Amino acid sequence: MNGTEPFKIPPEAAFATTYDVAIVGSGVSGALIAKTLGALGLKVLVVEAGPGEDVTIGEYTKSVERFYSAVSKDNNAPYAHSRNAPMPRDYDAVKLRDSQPNDRGYLVQNGPFEIDSTYSRVLGGTTRHWEAKALRMLPDDFRMQSAFGRGRDWPVTYDALAPDYGRAERELGVSGNVEDQRYGGLTFEDGYVYPMKRMPPSFLDKTMAKDLDGFEVKVGEQTFALNVRSTPQARNGIPNPAYDGGKGFTPTGAVSIHQAEMGGRCQGNTNCVPICPVQAKYDARRTLLAAMDTGNVHLLARTVAFRVEVDGTTGRVTGITCKTYADKDAPGHVTGMLQARIFVLAANAVENARLMLASDLHGSSKLMGRNLMDHAYLLTWGLMPQVVGTGRGPLCTSGIEDIRTGNYRQHHAAVRFSIHNDGWGWATGAPYTDLAELVDARNLTGAALRRGLIDRVGRQLLLDCMIEVLPEETNRISVDPRHLDQLGNPRPVVSFHIPDYTLETAAFSRRLTRQIYQRLGAEDHTRYDPLAPGWVSHDGEGFTLRGGNHWAGTHIMGTEARTSVVDATQKSWDHGNLYLAGAGSMPSIGTANTTLTLAALCLRTADAIAAELSPGLATASVSTHCQEIPA
């Protein structure tokens, strides 16, 4: 592209070019679409709000060191925070009092539930800090309304999406074992294997499995046998020679615009969230740099989309006004207009909705920003009867999946459980809080302190209960001109409550995990603080629920403009040349984190865009919905 350095495109050059496709957001959605289209020869611009660093090993190391040096090691601690493109921090979530909104962080929290979910506005988006679990959603998750009379059906079935799940598993590089994923109606193509073999289960997993496997549990009318199963994850393991009909799989390691040889297999740094120091974990920079390698993709960083401009007659997007800043913190920016034949918003479920609403584009369904979902996590924790060596390995290597679906979903939400190799940290701030207690309260020093720590930390088990939340229109992102960021962009306002459907499963999960601890002979140390943000009560029992950073639903997908925002290809019903990509399109989130599913969706979207722009080039894996409005 005129010999321009793809990473150093001057804003004025970018704004002066009419691209085939302009993509807002360099996260997994945008990167996958950019890579697919760039490979087909289409000219693509990717716009990133964050500083756009971390394309060399040196820069990546700076992020790792920023994490090392951070006293508060929250999930955005490693990343360069920019005042011109601020991001939410989990510690900004505080208990709301007297219905007063909390606007101390980037998100404005309206409540009633205080959500501590975040996202990252950096190159590669929130995949920078994701844990990289790569579970598929279950067939039932796609037909919630028809199967259980709850939530919404997708306009796509599991079977239709299954090939795209396979493509996504290749793009993300998933390690897993298909045999461990046979439950809840999950099906795989005959002979399918994951690109890499499963992560070896931890000693803790194996210790638990010994006593837990086969535990029969009655949920509603059905009885399920629980089993510890390996968790598929987008982390480099041992390539499976049987993959792809025996062709095998070549993992991608660390990425850098210079040479980079690190980033082979997972080494067990126990830090998937917030940063893998050796880049064994997939993050979207991998896809983004591959997109750049096509020679057809430009990156414009430090550029925040400000307003989507629409032709009032045709509804088509005529451009996206952006603000480009030079210094990440100092005020000051230049304004420009993105020009392209097709526009893709891939800035995550919160930011996509925020941008549309800030542009007064509520959609003919008025659903823009509504149906906000995230997983509700109930954490439970205990001490195993023996030292299990907590604090080793990837954060989670196994989980309990057997009750991810069942007829009980007519009445209450689905749930799955992860076994944490990293101890109680998420729930209690361990091991720091343990050290403080042993030193300050138990007055231990020297060898006694060492013994005390082994006993207190080395036995820790944390089971997280990941609970489904269904779409409700009152759970929403909105904007409010009273709350602007430094660039003058409206900040996202979050209104969220936890539905009873979900709370019922929180109570169920607490009961079940108590039984699990009893079966393991583990000391149950779970307790919830009524003064903590996220405190909810249900039938007289109180819990603290935590967010999962799985924002979804805000531009919900459906079969018609009246009741949804985008179609099955993530194309806007109202704007013929606009796609809203990512988890915001999902009509349900089941009990899988959203990344693998949204990656599958975005690969279909890329196909649809390619079919539209260069018919014949695209791989025809999707029957694209054609509702082109003549310009």
Between 129 and 302, CB nearer to other proteins? 129
Structure tokens at 223: 């009885």
* The dihedral formed by the CA atoms of 269, 270, 276 and 278, expressed in degrees to the nearest 10: 10
Give the nearer residue to other proteins in terms of CB position, either 253 or 382: 253
Q: Please give the torsion angle defined by the CA atoms of residues 580, 581, 587 and 590, in that order, rounded to the nearest 10 degrees.
A: -160
* Shortest distance, position 330 Cβ to other proteins, whole Å: 25
- Beta carbon of residue 376, minimum distance to other proteins (angstroms, whole number): 25
The span from the CA of 59 to the CA of 289, in Å, is 15
Residue by residue, DSSP assigns 520-586 as HT-EE-----TTSTTEEEETTEEEEEEE-S--B-TT-B-SSTTT-SB-TTSBBSS-TTEEE-SGGG-
What is the closest distance, in whole angstroms, from the C-beta atom of residue 129 to other proteins in the complex?
A: 12
Q: Which is nearer to other proteins, 394 or 558 (CB)?
A: 394
Least spacing, CB of residue 423 vs other proteins, in Å: 8
Complex with other proteins: residue 262 or 617, whichever CB lies closer: 262
500/269 Cα distance (integer angstroms): 38
Cβ at position 440, least distance to other proteins in Å: 6
521 half-sphere exposure, CB direction, 13 A CA radius: 6
User: Where does 250-408 show beta strands of DSSP type E?
Assistant: 297-300, 303-310, 317-325, 333-345, 376-383, 396-400
Closer of 461 and 606 to other proteins (Cβ): 461
- Minimum CB distance to other proteins smaller for 1 or for 337: 1
Are 365 and 573 in contact by the 8 Å Cβ rule? The answer is yes
Quote the CA–CA distance of 105 and 90 in Å, as a whole number: 9
Which element (helix H / strand E) includes 230?
A: strand 228-230
Rounded Cα–Cα distance for residues 375 and 144 (Å): 16
* Residue 101 or 264 having the CB closest to other proteins: 264
Q: How far is the CB of 448 from other proteins (least distance, A)?
A: 8
The residue (of 294 and 502) whose beta carbon lies closer to other proteins is: 294
- Minimum gap (Å) between residue 437 Cβ and other proteins: 12
Cis peptide before 239 (omega within 30 of 0): no
Q: What are the backbone dihedrals phi and psi of residue 239, each rounded to the nearest 5 degrees, phi first?
A: -60, 140
The Cα–Cα gap between 40 and 149 comes to 42
CB of 32 to other proteins, least distance (A): 22
- CB of residue 274 vs other proteins: minimum separation in angstroms? 9
Give 97 or 258: the residue with its C-beta nearer to other proteins: 258
Closest contact distance (angstroms) between CB of 239 and other proteins is 6
Return the number of the residue (372 or 457) whose C-beta is nearest other proteins. 457
- Closer by beta carbon to other proteins, 296 or else 397: 397
For the chain, give the longest Cα–Cα distance: 78
Structural Rg of the chain based on CA atoms:
23
452 conformational bin, left if phi > 0, alpha if psi -120 to 50, beta if neither: alpha
Among 505, 520, 509, 427, CA closest to 468: 505
Give me the least distance between CB of 240 and other proteins, in Å please: 8
Nearest approach, Cβ of residue 416 and other proteins (Å):
21
- Quote the distance between the C-alpha of residue 89 and its chain's center: 15
Containing 225, the helix (H) or strand (E) segment is: strand 222-226
- Give whichever of 227 and 614 is closer to other proteins, judged by the CB atom: 227
